[in-house]
Chains A and B, each alone.
Chain A
Amino acid sequence: MLILGIESATGRVGCAIGGHEGVRASVQATRERRHAELLAPQIQAACAHAGVSLRDLGAVAVDVGPGLYTGLRVGVTTAITMAHALRVPMVAVGSLDLVAYPLRHTARTITVMIDARRGEVFHARYSCLPGGVQRLTDPEVAAPDHVVSHILASGDETLAVGDGAVLYASMLDPLRGVELADAGFAHPSAESLVLLAHALAMREEFVRPDEIQPLYLRRPDAQVPRPTR
């Protein structure tokens, strides 16, 4: 099954196309606040590189966050609209899962930290399984020192990764048993999205476009109208 993956949860934006044989094309760029300008041409370019038409797609996968709201909404809107128009199912994957996935061969526990601005990070912990990662905690938004105390309390040998881990490296570096992953792994990638989504698609873990919601974490109830004062 051919899958288009759309990822825009951090300062980076991109897409990839692939299937059972792996990733066939990917285009990514880091330009904050320019996600809407970049994404559609990136999709065109990825199709051209892969030599496929959008009509060949079997599913659209999207990074649903958590991440920076404005960029996240560009990717999620593009993905749900495209899946709806092409009448294909969707696969939703979280940004923290995408950052953990490329490190699936480590023996250590993985802590993913994505910068949430104003001194906070989105974070979760993962352990590795054969061929993948398993999330141990629900995604949360917290101050980095809170994440540090989590790591210390666990006593696990930890690999810290994500742009939040890079940003707060000075808090993580002194910790015994904690290592910082290479900065090249700091952002969720569209390639990981396509690979993870393909595995989920094989298990038929699809969602409908109208079931997809960005994971904001702050104020999840914002849409629920409450009585006016």
Chain B
Amino acid sequence: MQNGAGNGARHLGDAILGIETSCDETAAAVVAGGQQVLSSVVSSQVDLHARYGGVVPEVAGRAHVERLVPVMSQALVESALEDSDIAAVAATAGPGLVGALLVGVSAAKALALAWDVPFVAVNHLEAHLHAAFLDEPSLELPVVVMLVSGGHTMLVLMEGRLRYRVLGATLDDAAGEAFDKVARYMGLGYPGGPVIDRLSGKGDRDAIAFPRAMLHDGWHFSFSGLKTAVINHLRRHPDAPIEDVAASFQEAVADVLLAKARRAAAAHNARGLCLAGGVAANSRLRELTLDACTADGLAAYLPSRAMCTDNAAMVAAAGWWRLQADGPSPLTVGADPSLGLPED
């Protein structure tokens, strides 16, 4: 939690309330001028979904309705602003779970009507691309962003705040999904990312040579084969030390991501590599990104865990940039579960 008090001049006229309910985090934040985080509140539902081994859309929708008003109130209180200081309300409109997105979109429109301020519909993926700037105001473009989460895996060349190109994306499972599936097969529970990360610390990452799909060709990813390889290995070697399996699996995922990101950075003269999305919290991925940047003379932008995972500060920031560029969104905008990244 960050408070604006004492952070220098505030641009009160530019304060945006952001709302994020695309999946299993209910979040609200106040960000001034698209940059200064005055508050950021996240209420995680991971405890509600853990026993199902994944996010249950209906459970998420119900929890968002219950939690959003208290989370918004807390974000406003922590920002030390009054309602009347909020210049616009931004909410994630997609991609995500439709029943979850609708809660945030409906709330944001209601606030915009009640306060008579603009409403801004924000693309969740674009918001992730803005997250790094909140931690690293001096981030130099262009950068290659590895956007990796439970729902997405893509390589994006970011040339301007609202100017970027998707270089490649996963053809099957998202990287985070591969972590969840492997963890499930190993009986490690949900979510799979943190527990595999932890086990890997005690394992030998070179113990098993898992396949690195499409390592040298193109910009796209495929993690489905890796998942199958892990399962086949465990089937053939039921006594394999799970730490070694976890570490070798994690290494294969990180290797592929880094290999492509480095090639992309070279091909497009990028100044740095940047991580975004929940999987960016993975310690080995962060370590390898740092190593790669050192070796290649690139800047490494590794946002804090709070900025990598779903939050509303990134939504407010992206909303501010969109509002400057495109103006308010019409109130007829709905939720779009399969919204793509807008490319120019």
Contacts and interface: CB of A to CB of B under 8 A. Distances in A.
B114 interface: yes
A213 B68 CA distance: 12
B296 interface: no
Contact of B102 (A36, A85, A216, A222): A36
B46 to A, nearest CB: 10
A44 interface: yes
A77 B65 contact: yes
A134 interface: no
A78 B333 CA distance: 14
Contacts of A74: 102-103, 106
B206 interface: no
Contact of B114 (A34, A73, A82, A210): A82
**Of listed A41, A74, A86, residue having the most chain B CB within 10 A:** A74
Contacts of B69: 80-81, 84, 209-210
A159 B240 CA distance: 69
Interface in A31-79: 34-41, 43-44, 54, 69-70, 73-74, 76-79
A223 B62 contact: yes
B174 interface: no
How many chain B residues sit at the interface, stated as a range, is: 35 or more
Given A40-B331, A222-B59, A54 B113 contact: yes
Contacts of A228: 50-51, 189
B65 A73 contact: yes
A115 B162 CA distance: 45
A43 B111 CA distance: 12
B124 interface: no
Given A73-B103, A209-B69, A223 B110 contact: no
A220 to B, nearest CB: 10
A214 interface: yes
A210 B115 CA distance: 19
Contacts of A34: 334
A226 interface: yes
Interface string B229-268: 0000000000000000000000000000000000000000
Contact of A223 (B63, B111, B112): B63
A85 B106 contact: no
A122 B167 CA distance: 50
A118 interface: no
Contacts of A216: 62
Contacts of A43: 113
Contacts of B189: 228
A226 B102 contact: no
B82 to A, nearest CB: 12
A183 B189 CA distance: 51
Contacts of B186: none
B47 A225 contact: yes
Closest 4 CB pairs of A and B: A85-B114, A81-B110, A40-B109, A40-B331
Interface of B: 47-48, 50-51, 58-59, 61-66, 68-70, 72-73, 83, 98-99, 102-103, 105-107, 109-116, 119, 189, 331-335
11 contacts: A36-B334, A39-B106, A40-B119, A41-B331, A44-B331, A77-B64, A78-B110, A82-B111, A82-B114, A210-B69, A213-B65
